[in-house]
Structure 1
Amino acid sequence: MTTATADQVFRFGGFTLDLAKGTLRGINEPLFLRPKAYALLSHLARNMGRVVPKSELMDVVWPGVYVTEDSLTQSVREIRKVLGEDMVRTVSKRGYMLAAEAEAAPEISSQPIVAVVRFRNESGDPADEAMVDGFAEG
Structure 2
Amino acid sequence: MQYLFNGFTLDLSRGELVHDGDAIAVEPRAFALVVYLVENADRLISKDELVEKLWEGRIVTDAAISTLIKSARKVLGDSGQTQKYIRTVHGRGFRFVGSAALGTAPAPAPAPA
TM-score by length of 1: 0.66
| Amino acid in the other structure paired with 1:60 | K
Identity among equivalent positions (%) equals: 34
Residue 87 (structure 2) pairs with residue 89 (structure 1) = yes
Aligned with residue 56 of structure 1, among 33, 36, 49: 49
| Amino acid in the other structure paired with 2:85 | M
TM-score by length of 2: 0.80
Cα deviation for residue 45 of structure 1 reads 1.2
Give the structure with the higher percent strand: 2
Distance 1:79 1:63, change over 3 A: same
Partners of 2:15 and 2:77 in 1: CA distance: 20
Greater RCO (CA < 8 Å, at least 6 residues apart):
2
Aligned with residue 68 of structure 1, among 48, 52, 61: 61
| Amino acid in the other structure paired with 1:16 | T
Report the secondary structure of 2:71's partner residue: helix
Partners of 1:48 and 1:55 in 2: CA distance: 17
Residue 9 (structure 2) pairs with residue 16 (structure 1) = yes
Aligned with residue 100 of structure 1, among 98, 101, 107: 98
Cα deviation for residue 58 of structure 1 reads 1.1
Maintained 8 Å contact 2:4/2:105: no
Cα deviation for residue 106 of structure 1 reads 5.9
Spell out structure 1 runs of 4+ moving beyond 4 A.
none
Taking only aligned residues, the RMSD between alpha carbons, in angstroms, comes to 1.9
- The size of the alignment, in residue pairs, is 101
In structure 1, runs of 5+ residues without a counterpart are 1-7, 109-138
Give the structure with the higher percent helix: 1
Indicate the residue corresponding to 2:18 in structure 1. 25
